[in-house]
Amino acid sequence: MERPGRLEGKVALITGGGNGMGREASTLFASEGARVMVADVSEAGARATVGAVEAAGGEADLVVADVSDATQAEAMVRATTERFGGLHVLYNNAGIFPADDAGATDTPEATWDRVIDVNLKGVWLGCKYAIPALVASGGGSIVNVASFVAFMGAATAQIAYTSSKGGVLALTREVAVEHARSGVRANALCPGPIDTPLLAELMADPARKARRLVHIPMGRLGRPEELARAALFLASDESSFMTGAALVVDGGITAAYVTPE
């Protein structure tokens, strides 16, 4: 007898779903029974993801949205509930990491502002507009992508990105506590370096790549499917007693370098 999918009957909204880890999660969630709304600033990327989901037998649609814009964030949630009749999972995956995000004294102000807008404000706006929809659907799960750098400094300077991800971790805890009794769970997914096109571009410099790999006890980058499976666990009812938690998927980096309080 075939087991039901781990997200059977659920509707999932995935931001940044047009490429990389967002595409991987979209196809995985759909394979586990979810109807997926792919939100991305790139229509072409979102359309490609929807095509991949449908080719594998899943159901998906797309909405073009800049998560840092309140009007567009509200519209992507509304598009999801109108298309699929509810919302049970919000996966706040969208994020950026500009090449000129450097040290505290070197990072341009415009870069700081844009990273915080997308990576932190975008997560807040997703929660702001999705929480009422989750409650109306009988409760659900929010998965916010933070990072291992929410717990420690990065091996190479990236002040805006690190600050944004620390904020995501704090925001997640706040949302979890505030909305627990409404049936809404919120957890942070904290990946280490994952082998995506974005990271490949940033690690094109062999010296920069070497500086990062030396800090990973497992000696390799994570794979997108490894992170997607962790996100699936947090999205599903298998994690039903988890909220306000940080699930670290980093190949052992924080275990090696972070001292428990």
Query: Where does the pLDDT of residue 2 fall: very low under 50, low under 70, confident under 90, or very high at 90 and above?
Result: low
Instruction: Quote the number of domains for the chain.
Output: 1
What one-character-per-residue DSSP string does 136-172 give?
HTT-EEEEEE--GGGTS--SS--HHHHHHHHHHHHHH
Determine, yes or no, domain membership for 205.
no
In a domain, 214, yes or no: no
Mind listing the pLDDT tens digit for each residue in 64-85? 999 999 999 999 999 999 999 9
CB count in 10 Å sphere of residue 233: 16
Strand order through the sheet with 59-64: 59-64, 35-40, 11-15, 89-92, 140-145, 184-191, 246-249
| pLDDT digits 0-9 by tens, 143-176 | 999 999 999 988 788 999 999 999 999 999 999 9
Range of the domain at 145: 11-97+119-152+164-191+224-243
User: What residue type is assigned to position 218 of the chain?
Assistant: M
Average pLDDT, the chain: 94
Q: Which of the four pLDDT bands, split at 50, 70 and 90, describes residue 203?
A: low
- Residue whose structure tokens are 């047009």: 18
Q: Is residue 213 part of a domain?
A: no
The per-residue pLDDT for 1 is 53
Unique residue bearing structure tokens 């940080």:
246
Tell me the C-alpha to C-alpha distance, in Å, between residue 19 and each of 51, 68, 69: 12, 18, 20
pLDDT confidence tier of residue 205, bands split at 50, 70 and 90 = confident
Measured CA to CA, the distance from residue 75 to residue 67 in angstroms comes to 10
**pLDDT top residue among 137 and 155:** 137
Is 198 among the domain residues?
A: no
- Residue 214 or 259, more confident: 214
Here the CATH number for the domain that contains residue 90 is 3.40.50.720
Q: Check whether 125 has a pLDDT greater than 70.
A: yes
Whether 87 is covered by a domain: the verdict is yes
User: How far is Cα 14 from Cα 22, in angstroms, rounded to an integer?
Assistant: 7
pTM: 0.94
Residues 53/56/58/60 CA torsion (nearest 10 deg): 20
In terms of pLDDT, which residue wins out, 213 or 49?
Answer: 49
Task: Please report whether residue 62 resides in a domain.
Answer: yes
Is residue 39's pLDDT more than 80?
Answer: yes
Instruction: Give catalytic residue positions.
Output: 161
What is the average pLDDT across 234-242? 98
Domain-located, residue 185: yes
Residue 210's pLDDT band (cuts 50, 70, 90): confident
Question: Quick check: is 251 in a domain?
Answer: no
